[in-house]
Structure 1
Amino acid sequence: MKRSIFKYIITSLLTVAALGLFLRSCTSASTSKPTITVSIQPQKYMLEKIVGDKWEIKCLLSNGANPESYDPSLTHLLNLENSKAYFRIGNVAFESAIINKVQNNNPGLKLFDNSEGISLIRGTHSHGDVEHSTDIDPHTWTSVKNAKTIASNMYKAVVDLDPENKAYYSRNFKNFLSSLDSLDREISQQLQPYRGSAFVVWHPSLSYFARDYGLEQISLSPEGKEASVKMMQ
């Protein structure tokens, strides 16, 4: 008799637990957010400022990954194909390498280029001993002024995807622009005495930043290789 009661209690508890898991999964499914995938972490930060809690933002590159040598994993590509839209940063090699595959596997995926309207810098990345003037510097996001253009492109894209929440996105976008303006003014003030000066970096990733504030960027290794004696001089 005791064994039967014990068996009944265990069965009842398992049933309740299973029901709880089922209800939780249903609730989670019904309240899950649509997803937008971006290429790099700076995009994720900026887009989250605009969309708030309306979207889940996934990023192809993990923290610390190099966008110039990145090779997306199968998991990252699957995340992208499950998204409502893909926001490209533009002018990064890995994006061009995967875009056809992504479009073929998910023809309904909407694509947006966040770097539209940015005045691009060329010739900062050399190959071998030859400087290719047609090479586009991909690091557009290192400029606060460019960040405003990127954010503006993001805002327009999000409104296109979800026009019903335009007022919400507009408020967030204006607040973010205000913070970028404040940052730009602060940097301009701090660097004003150094306009016309040069700074040294390892990889030429601050070309747009240098342009904004009248500085000269000197890269020790445009290709990521060990600097020669001549380069060091």
Structure 2
Amino acid sequence: MKKWVKIATTAMLLTLLLLSGCSGNPSTGSKNPEGKLQVYTSIYPLYDFARKIGGPYVSVTNLIPPGADPHHFELLPRDMSKLSEADLLVYNGGGFEPWVERVNQMLDPDKTRIVNATESIMTDWGQVSRKASHNHGHGEEHQAEGTDPHVWLDPQLAKKQAVAIRNALVQLDAEHKDDYLKNYDQLASELDRLDQEFKQMVANAPKKEFAVSHASFAYLAKRYGLEQIALSGLSPSDEPSPQELEKIIEHVKKHDIDVILFETLVNNKMAKVVKKEVNAEALVLNPLEGLTEQEMKQGEDYFSVMRKNKENLAKALGVTNP
């Protein structure tokens, strides 16, 4: 049954593509009625960078709605219809968007340029692994290891992603090349400042380890010579089981942890468990996969969230004046 549903969905997507109209010239970009390039991104950081580099000459849409979980995102026929009319699609790569392979097969390359923002990074760095401890409740523990796609949490690697966006915009719209280069330079300078702020903070840190509820910060840790300790069994909304709690307490004592960093705000019940049972403070370390509608209305962006991350990470590393 699933096989037939998949075939039907593919057929529907192909039909939408056939009805999408004529191809544009990739050297100039098709542009919308307002004269702007139509740019789509797969995650919030790329959306933020594309808007800042493109300025008034681009219309940027993030495929993941505000507040949605990108890990559970499924490309719908209406999304494919929009992409078939786009000038540019920028995605993260590193295995973060499994749906991209299907998009690559179905979009017309003469109409929509597709850019893997981590292609050069993976060539130079390779994929950084992330580890998390898991306990099966029988006193045994193993390390689950996978690759970490959260490249953008390293400001210097985020700058390389911005280069990929800049180059694509220049190729599509050479008329505004100078503006794209200027806007990129401003963004790159801000990323360099952020990098220096993290370096200075870490230099003053008595600890070089930090505890997280989910291993999403391997690139950030590698850049600044830190180690992330991923504690399995911790969810911001669920209370850990007695077995999980016992293991967490063991980790906390072993590594002298007094702050545990969650990806999202924990509820009051979980915060009390962490405070009472583990004797640690619960703070947020945001992986910046997406912002909520409220955060966007408040004017938050990549830099404001990363600086909040720096403040909370500083507390976890024992910095008294972050």
3-state secondary structure, aligned to 1:124: strand
Amino acid at match of 1:194: A
> Could you report, residue by residue, the CA deviation over 1:150-206 in whole angstroms, capped at 9, with x for unpaired residues?
111111111121122111111111111111111111121122122752111111111
Residue pair 1:81, 1:102 contacting (<8 A) in 2 also: no
> Aligned residue pairs: how many?
203
Residue pair 1:220, 1:232 contacting (<8 A) in 2 also: no
Decide which of 31, 37, 44 is 2:40's aligned counterpart.
37
Give me the TM-score of the superposition, normalised by structure 1. Answer: 0.75
Instruction: Verify: 1:180 aligned to 2:188, yes or no.
Output: no
Instruction: Verify: 1:203 aligned to 2:224, yes or no.
Output: no
- Which whole-Å CA distance do the structure 1 matches of 2:171 and 2:135 have between them? 43
Instruction: Verify: 1:122 aligned to 2:129, yes or no.
Output: yes
Amino acid at match of 1:86: L
Equivalence for 2:179: 168
| Cα offset, 1:69, TM superposition | 2.7
3-state secondary structure, aligned to 1:191: helix
Percent identity at matched positions? 28
- Which whole-Å CA distance do the structure 1 matches of 2:78 and 2:196 have between them? 41
Relative to its length, the structure with more strand (as a share) is 2
- Which whole-Å CA distance do the structure 2 matches of 1:39 and 1:126 have between them? 29
Relative to its length, the structure with more helix (as a share) is 1
- Which whole-Å CA distance do the structure 2 matches of 1:218 and 1:89 have between them? 25
Unpaired segments of 5 or more residues in structure 1? 1-28
Instruction: Verify: 1:154 aligned to 2:156, yes or no.
Output: no
3-state secondary structure, aligned to 1:64: coil
| Cα offset, 1:99, TM superposition | 3.1
Larger radius of gyration: 1
3-state secondary structure, aligned to 1:77: helix
Unpaired segments of 5 or more residues in structure 2? 1-31, 137-141, 251-322
Q: Which residues of 2 match residues 65-104 of structure 1 at below 5 A?
A: 65-93=68-96, 95-101=97-103, 103-104=105-106
- Which whole-Å CA distance do the structure 1 matches of 2:82 and 2:233 have between them? 32
Give me the TM-score of the superposition, normalised by structure 2. Answer: 0.56
Equivalence for 2:303: none
Indicate the RMSD between aligned Cα atoms, in angstroms: 2.7
Instruction: Verify: 1:58 aligned to 2:64, yes or no.
Output: no
Residue pair 2:130, 2:216 contacting (<8 A) in 1 also: no
| Cα offset, 1:66, TM superposition | 2.5
- Of the two structures, which has the highest relative contact order with CA contacts closer than 8 Å and spacing of 6 or more? 2
Residue pair 2:130, 2:218 contacting (<8 A) in 1 also: no
- Which whole-Å CA distance do the structure 1 matches of 2:169 and 2:210 have between them? 37
